[in-house]
Amino acid sequence: MAKTLGLHILADLYGVNPDLIDRVEDVKHLLETTVKIANLTKISSHYYQFQPHGATGVILLAESHISIHTWPEHGLATVDVYTCGDPSKAYKAMDYIISTLEPVRVDKQVHERGLLGDHEGSHLQNVLLKV
Amino acid sequence: MAKTLGLHILADLYGVNPDLIDRVEDVKHLLETTVKIANLTKISSHYYQFQPHGATGVILLAESHISIHTWPEHGLATVDVYTCGDPSKAYKAMDYIISTLEPVRVDKQVHERGLLGDHEGSHLQNVLLKV
């Protein structure tokens, strides 16, 4: 029986209100709140304000990482939530980010990463989800 | 015609020599060298040593990010290279990491992220690649 070490959710959020993703302060507030709500364990967090638009944020977790890159000029945010352990935390984190940014459209994929004990077949599992 | 903002390569590396991925110093040297070889633009980099085994490393790039999480006890490293702009840089970076860690097996996927100008159809494109 294969065991999965981690769950990685990738989501591209389209049609986001640019005011929600332009400033690094807002991106920081979003990610820091996400970690608390999903009961994840922060190691450190890092942010960068691009000029004239957009921001990057990454939180290193004991469980892996969360990242966001934003293009307010396109109403776009690309988000990664990659956690080990309880997979429900990854879904909870991503659901919070999406519900906060209220995109018009989300393209989302879920990967199981690091399968052990079954070295035959595909280890980087892929489930296509669309919202 | 749709335009893609970024290319995200996910790779799970199995059968890696644990000595190459156990210490954060080695992970740091790997990622810092990768950024130079791929001619990417580092904003900042962040590392963490887990006990008793394993490390995490993330580099924030002007082009997005690179991350690695390692489980030397399983000979496993999971790597993400996500870059905007010239897609050849993402491939160059991932190729360097794989050639340095010499895994027995790689499960790799490539996603185009942030497609603009064609809001119909799938925006989070998926191409399954196996090495």
Q: Shortest Cα distance from A114 to chain B (angstroms)?
A: 6
Q: What is the pLDDT of residues B73-102, one digit of tens each?
A: 999 999 999 999 899 999 999 999 999 999
What is the total residue count of chain A? 131
User: Is there a contact between B69 and A71 if contact means CB atoms under 8 Å apart?
Assistant: no
Write out chain A residues lying below 8 Å of B46, CB-based: 44, 46, 58, 60
- The letter for the amino acid at A21 is I
Q: With contact defined as beta carbons under 8 Å apart, do A55 and A78 qualify?
A: no
Residue A12 pLDDT more than 90?
yes
pLDDT, mean over chain A: 90
User: Given CA atoms B27, B29, B32, B35 in this order, what sign does their dihedral have?
Assistant: negative
Supply the pLDDT for residue A29.
Answer: 98
> What counts of helices (H) and strands (E) characterise chain A?
2, 7
Between positions 71 and 90 of A, the ones with CB within 8 A of B are 71, 74, 76, 78, 80, 82, 84
Q: What is the pLDDT of residues B34-72, one digit of tens each?
A: 999 999 999 999 999 999 999 999 999 999 999 999 999
**Dist CA B89 CA B92 (whole Å):** 5
Considering the entire predicted model, what is its pTM?
Answer: 0.89
Coil, helix or strand at residue B36? helix
Q: With contact defined as beta carbons under 8 Å apart, do B30 and B37 qualify?
A: no
Coil, helix or strand at residue A22? coil
Q: Which residues of B are catalytic?
A: 64, 69, 84
Residue A53 pLDDT more than 60?
yes
Segment B107-123 mean pLDDT: 75
Q: Is B37 on the interface with A (CB under 8 A)?
A: no
